[in-house]
Amino acid sequence: MPGMNKRSSRYSTVVSQPAVATRQRCGRVEPPAATGHAAPGDAGVARRAHPEAPNVESAASPAVAEPREFTELLENYRGLLRGRSIPYPVVYRFVKELGHGRQGVVFLATRHGARGCLTEHAIKLFDPGIYSSAARYWTDMGRIAQQISRLQPLNNVNLVPGNFYEECNGIGYIHMSAIDGIDLQFLMDGKHLELARARGASKEWNRFLDLLFRLEDGRISLRTGLVLDILRNVLRGIAALHANGFIHGDIKPTNIMINIQGTVRLVDFGRAAREWAADGQVGRAK
């Protein structure tokens, strides 16, 4: 967004962590691989998560023991939240929470790759607690994994890039590019304006009000030009999804993000539906 600078972003500087010398699986430590790492997602398609889930098993996917009891699955979720890291297949350390919603928590995470390669990503950890059983959880995770496989080739500037699905101790997570910015809800609720006013020069503040926001009786509204710009970009993202047979299904301010360059990106394809049935009805993604 024009006028938005690094200070208005929700990011803070990431503290680098020491490189991980060993290669770990969830809960188990393995010796380093002789020929370097296979990055998560190298297999190209997501691993089959559950016998009921659609079969997209990849020969390259490692076998992972899944918990037998649902209570164990719930405890695994809490364990990952407590440990603030995912130790599989390389360690992702959670730096800070970027947001949360009904489906789980999104973290900014540092990925500790081979030879000390540290990269930043967003990790969305799916909470099994909103499902009634592990089978239902994994079936839905299978649906999400399928969606990611199909959406992955879509390279559109208005959609969050770099998605792939993985699991740790049966807990599903999506790896995405971390968006250095804010969601539209945060922009609209006006809290950032107090920050901008306190930190910025009065000239900058006046420009903010001239171009981007209107303040009336203490209430904030976005100026028409800004609204049109955001909407135009949201519609471009939606059009790209539609052109590939998807509907997003959950367009709302918290699923619309704006980075510090002003690029608008849609996130959260968790409720996306796919394909128009012959009767014109939209079917769930299969």
Ligand X SMILES: Nc1ncnc2c1ncn2[C@@H]1O[C@H](COP(=O)(O)OP(=O)(O)OP(=O)(O)O)[C@@H](O)[C@H]1O
Residues that bind ligand X (CB under 6 A): 98-104, 106, 122, 124, 160, 176, 178-179, 183, 250, 254-255, 267-268, 270
Q: Letter for the amino acid at 238?
A: I
> Closer to ligand X at the Cβ: 4 or 98?
98
The four Cα atoms 132, 134, 137, 139 give a dihedral, to 10 degrees, of -120
Name the minimum Å distance from CB 101 to Mg ion.
4
CA 69 – CA 231 distance, rounded (Å): 45
The number of residues in the chain equals 286
Name the minimum Å distance from CB 98 to ligand X.
4
SS3 111: strand
Contact flags string 238-277 toward Mg ion, x per CB under 5 A? ----------------xx------------x---------
The burial class, CB within 10 Å (0-12 / 13-18 / 19+), for 141 is buried
Name the minimum Å distance from CB 173 to ligand X.
11
Unique residue bearing structure tokens 């990790």: 123
> Closer to ligand X at the Cβ: 160 or 212?
160
Q: Check if the beta carbon of residue 179 is closer than 8 Å to that of residue 122.
A: yes
Q: Quick one: what does residue 110 bind among Mg ion, ligand X, none, with the CB cut-off 5 to 8 Å set by partner type?
A: none
Q: Check if the beta carbon of residue 41 is closer than 8 Å to that of residue 164.
A: yes
H-type helices in 17-84, by residue range? 70-83
- Binds Mg ion by CB under 5 A, chosen from 54, 101, 249, 253: 101
* Residue facing Mg ion at closest CB distance: 268
Name the minimum Å distance from CB 102 to Mg ion.
8
Q: Quick one: what does residue 37 bind among ligand X, Mg ion, none, with the CB cut-off 5 to 8 Å set by partner type?
A: none
Q: Quick one: what does residue 122 bind among ligand X, Mg ion, none, with the CB cut-off 5 to 8 Å set by partner type?
A: ligand X
Residues binding Mg ion: number (CB under 5 A): 4
Residue 188's region, left for phi above 0, alpha for psi from -120 to 50, else beta, is alpha
- Can you give the binding site for Mg ion, defined by CB under 5 A? 101, 254-255, 268
